[in-house]
Amino acid sequence: MLQELFTPSVQHALDLAGIFVFAISGALLAVRKNFDVFGIAVLAEVTALGGGLFRDLIIGAVPPAAFTDLGYFLMPLVATAMVFFLHPEVERIQVGVNVFDAAGLGLFCVTGTVKAYEYGLGLTMSAVLGLATAVGGGVLRDVLANEVPSLLRWDRDLYAVPAIVGATIVALCIRFDTLNAATAGAAALTAFTLRLLAMRFHWRAPRAWNRRSATADDGQ
């Protein structure tokens, strides 16, 4: 089904682009945490490949694509080298990196959902794995860096919700037999746009209704 949506060369190029921008975010966090070059590389690899690796292991697509395509492994190392030597410059274009990260989020929630469905999962679980593909690497990145995952923090702009929306659109398109390159692109674009709007207007998920807590907001 993925081959029907995109040609193999286009799919590969999109995957590498998404891997690169995710790796940049992991490497930048490692620099902020004062990691050495090995730590920077590890965080870049985990951020870029963690979601897809988790998905492939769950659906039984072994060995995972991260271990069968050398480009998937090398691209995070390219990002590592770039951040290692040029991190002040990369920090200055953080807004641009965030835009590309949002594009990667949109792409991976789509391809993750489709691949899970191809391996026999139902539509709901396929959408769940589409979400995991898009955000799993970021969760692993934060855990390794001893941070509360951004996915779980109320004070961060919406990240999972755009991916959920994109994956749900794909699942509905599969259900009604309307999935093609145009509708898949629309799903990815929707997730991408929602993420950009969340960053622009600082949209956040609601917390518990009538919440009562003695903990200060800035400590949560």
Kindly give the confidence (pLDDT) of every residue in the chain, 220 residues in length, as a single tens digit, with 9 standing for 90 and above.
666 676 788 788 888 988 998 999 899 899 989 999 999 999 999 999 999 999 999 999 999 989 999 999 999 999 999 999 988 888 787 787 788 889 889 999 999 999 999 999 999 999 999 999 999 999 999 999 999 998 888 889 999 999 999 999 999 999 999 999 899 999 999 999 999 999 999 999 888 887 765 555 544 4
Half-sphere exposure of 65 (CA within 13 A, CB side): 22
Ordered by start, the domain boundaries in the chain are 2-204
* Residue burial 65-87, b: 16+ Cβ < 10 Å; e: rest: bbeeeeebeebbbbbbebbbeeb
Q: In Å, how far from its chain's centre is CA 121?
A: 20
pLDDT at 12: 85
Query: Tokens standing for 153?
Result: 């923090």
pTM for the complete prediction?
A: 0.88
193 exposure class (CB count in 10 Å sphere: 0-12, 13-18, 19+): middle
**H-type alpha helices, 93-151:** 94-118, 123-144
pLDDT confidence of residue 211 = 72
